[in-house]
């Protein structure tokens, strides 16, 4: 049991802590770490790219697999391009939906007021984009230098802390929640249990047993929406430079899929 916890911790330490859910574990890196420890393939972390897939293969002494592909080009360090979100402030209606979608609390603003992304904290996870009703959040390439290994570890530790603080705040909010949850339901009990077994992990207190799952608007489409929007934006950009019938058809199909998902 202890060795299993220690293995999950070692795996989690290699994951970027973006909490984006692109590995298929919509509530973040720790659930994916647990699943890898239980046997899931270790090449699914999209922002981690090949370096993280290889580091996990080395740790687990498993065969090296090709990392899950990102829609973004590969940077010099072998990981996909780092991105940042920016809000087109003149279009923002101050609905606050992006705030609770952001796993690392990188957005500030309050009801009916313009919102802003704290660029230094933003990981470009894209989770704030699908809930925005007026589609006023863009992703741009991160212009900062690529962090070195030590800086990456510091960044990961900070993002983990911020995510646990976010989970704790959402847990408190759950009791008096009025609006819907706009990101994937988080398995707060698992995070709380894990942090209890690890002194150096931020602690999470459960306020009351979760029973109101019916109230949770499961954001199961959040990741799919984010992927579709990114693909659409990329195609639109390419088509604005050169027309291409195949890409145009692909764009129309993606837009149809997006409309269908948005109407769910
Ligand atoms: S960074 Fe995203 S894709 Fe990678 S493990 Fe964490 S949640 Fe999954
Ligand atoms: S601001 Fe948006 S893209 Fe940036 S970390 Fe928060 S949810 Fe992710
Ligand atoms: S979700 Fe969009 S409109 Fe609403 S506060 Fe955030 S950026 Fe503004």
- Asked if residue 9 is part of any domain, the answer here is yes
Q: What does the pLDDT read at residue 201?
A: 84
Distance 115 CA to ligand 1 centre (A): 25
Residues 223 and 175 in one domain: no
Q: What is the pTM of this model?
A: 0.77
Ligand 2 is surrounded, with C-beta below 6 A, by: 85, 101-102, 104, 106-107, 117, 122-128
Does the beta carbon of 251 sit less than 6 angstroms from any atom of ligand 1? no
- Asked if residue 107 is part of any domain, the answer here is no
Residues 150 and 244 in one domain: no
116-152: per-residue pLDDT in tens? Answer: 888 889 999 999 999 998 999 999 999 999 999 999 9
Residues 62 and 159 in one domain: yes
Q: Cα separation of 203 and 225, whole Å?
A: 32
Residues 163 and 217 in one domain: no
Distance 183 CA to ligand 3 centre (A): 14
Does the beta carbon of 29 sit less than 6 angstroms from any atom of ligand 1? yes
Residues 62 and 32 in one domain: yes
- Is the alpha carbon torsion for 216, 85, 25, 35 positive or negative? negative
Range of the domain at 233: 212-262
- Asked if residue 140 is part of any domain, the answer here is no
Q: Cα separation of 35 and 39, whole Å?
A: 6
Residues 56 and 155 in one domain: yes
Atom 7 of ligand 2: nearest residue by CA position: 102
Atom 4 of ligand 1: nearest residue by CA position: 45
Q: Cα separation of 237 and 127, whole Å?
A: 21
- Asked if residue 158 is part of any domain, the answer here is yes
Q: What does the pLDDT read at residue 212?
A: 46
Looking at ligand 3, which atom is closest to the CA of residue 87? 7
Distance 85 CA to ligand 2 centre (A): 6
Q: What does the pLDDT read at residue 50?
A: 98
Residues 72 and 6 in one domain: yes
- Asked if residue 252 is part of any domain, the answer here is yes
Residues 62 and 11 in one domain: yes
Question: β-strand 83-87 against 116-117: which pairing, if any?
Answer: unpaired
Does the beta carbon of 11 sit less than 6 angstroms from any atom of ligand 1? no
Q: What angle do CA 102, 108, 109 make, to 5 degrees?
A: 120
Residues of the chain with pLDDT under 50: 180, 210-218
Q: What does the pLDDT read at residue 68?
A: 96
Ligand 3 is surrounded, with C-beta below 6 A, by: 87, 92-98, 109, 115, 131-132, 134, 136-137
Does the beta carbon of 103 sit less than 6 angstroms from any atom of ligand 1? no
Question: If DSSP codes are grouped into helix, strand and coil, which group holds residue 39?
Answer: coil
- Asked if residue 202 is part of any domain, the answer here is yes
Looking at ligand 1, which atom is closest to the CA of residue 46? 3
Q: What does the pLDDT read at residue 230?
A: 81
- Domain count of the chain? 2
Q: What does the pLDDT read at residue 172?
A: 78
Distance 244 CA to ligand 2 centre (A): 32
CB 102 within 8 A of CB 108: no
Atom 4 of ligand 2: nearest residue by CA position: 122
Residues 173 and 186 in one domain: yes
């Amino acid at each position: 049991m202890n060795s299993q916890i220690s293995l999950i911790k070692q795996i989690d330490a290699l994951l970027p802590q973006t909490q984006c859910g692109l590995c298929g574990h919509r509530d973040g890196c720790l659930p994916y770490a647990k699943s890898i420890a239980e046997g899931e393939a270790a090449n699914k972390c999209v922002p981690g790219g090949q370096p993280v897939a290889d580091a996990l293969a080395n740790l687990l002494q498993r065969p090296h697999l090709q990392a899950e592909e990102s829609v973004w080009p590969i940077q010099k360090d072998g990981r996909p391009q780092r991105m940042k979100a920016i809000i087109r402030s003149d279009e923002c209606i101050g609905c606050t939906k992006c705030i609770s979608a952001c796993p690392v609390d990188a957005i500030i603003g309050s009801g009916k007021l313009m919102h802003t992304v704290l660029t230094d904290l933003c990981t470009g996870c894209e989770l704030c984009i699908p809930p925005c009703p007026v589609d006023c959040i863009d992703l741009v390439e991160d212009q900062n230098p690529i962090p070195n290994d030590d800086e990456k570890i510091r960044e990961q530790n900070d993002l983990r802390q911020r995510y646990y603080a976010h989970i704790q705040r959402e847990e408190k909010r759950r009791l008096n929640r009025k609006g819907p949850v706009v990101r994937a339901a988080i398995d707060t009990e698992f995070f709380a249990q894990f942090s209890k077994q690890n002194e150096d992990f931020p602690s999470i207190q459960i306020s009351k047993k979760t029973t109101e799952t019916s109230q949770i608007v499961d954001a199961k489409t959040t990741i799919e929406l984010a992927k579709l929007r990114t693909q659409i934006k990329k195609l639109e950009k390419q088509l604005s430079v050169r027309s291409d019938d195949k890409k145009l058809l692909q764009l129309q199909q993606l837009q149809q899929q997006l409309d269908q998902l948005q109407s769910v």
